[in-house]
Structure formats: C-alpha cells, structure tokens
C-alpha cells in the first residue's frame, strides 16, 4: 500500500483563481509548506489537504480530507516563532 498527500493551493494566474495540487510523500512536508503559504512565503493560499491510499497496482483505494490541517499549521507556525525568538535571544546574549 502506498500513501500520498496533497495540499490544495489557490493561486492568481493571469487574473484568474487557479487551484493546484502540490504532492508530498509525508504529512510533515505538507504541513511545513502549508505553514509557508500561511506565513506569506509562497504566492497563493492553501485551502485544504488530501490523503490518498493506493494498492500495490497503483489503483486508488481510499481518499480522505486531512482533518485539523489548520490546527497543525498553527502549531508549526508557533514552533517557528518560538525557534526564531530563541535564536534572537541567543544572538543578543552572544553579542552582549
């Protein structure tokens, strides 16, 4: 059984809203990129996520929405903010 994760992203292309799917091998990669979109690091806006399961022949056997993606993105952003603050504190301490 193989599993794939997809982040649904809306982008403005030539004045039109376009939805695209970005694919990931792990949910952690998907959450990290969704957090990047949320932080404005990428052009576009994430609107959801999907988890797809395939059998050994490559046939789709299950598809589901990634529940609580917003909560996971907020948690990722909080960790990043804490990390940035700790780095800034270390730099101030080293300079002081």
- Residue ranges of domains in the chain: 2-95
Look at residue 2 and tell me whether its pLDDT is greater than 90.
Answer: yes
Q: What is the reported pLDDT for 47?
A: 97
Query: In which band, very low, low, confident or very high, does the pLDDT at 70 lie, cut at 50, 70 and 90?
Result: very high
What pLDDT does residue 90 have? Answer: 78
Output the CA angle 5-34-52, nearest 5 degrees.
Answer: 10
Residues 53 and 61: beta-carbon distance below 8 Å = yes
pTM of the model: 0.80
The answer to whether 33 touches 42, Cβ cutoff 8 Å, is: yes
Q: Would you call 2 exposed, middle or buried from its count of C-beta atoms within 10 A (0-12, 13-18, 19+)? A: exposed
């Amino acid at each position: 059984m193989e599993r794939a994760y997809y982040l649904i992203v809306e982008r403005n292309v030539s004045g039109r809203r376009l939805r695209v799917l970005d694919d990931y091998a792990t949910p952690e990669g998907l959450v990290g990129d969704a957090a990047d979109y949320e932080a404005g690091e990428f052009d576009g806006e994430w609107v959801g996520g999907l988890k797809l399961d395939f059998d050994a022949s490559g046939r789709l056997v299950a598809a589901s929405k990634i529940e609580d993606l917003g909560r996971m993105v907020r948690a990722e952003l909080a960790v990043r903010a804490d990390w940035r603050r700790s780095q800034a504190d270390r730099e101030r301490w080293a300079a002081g």
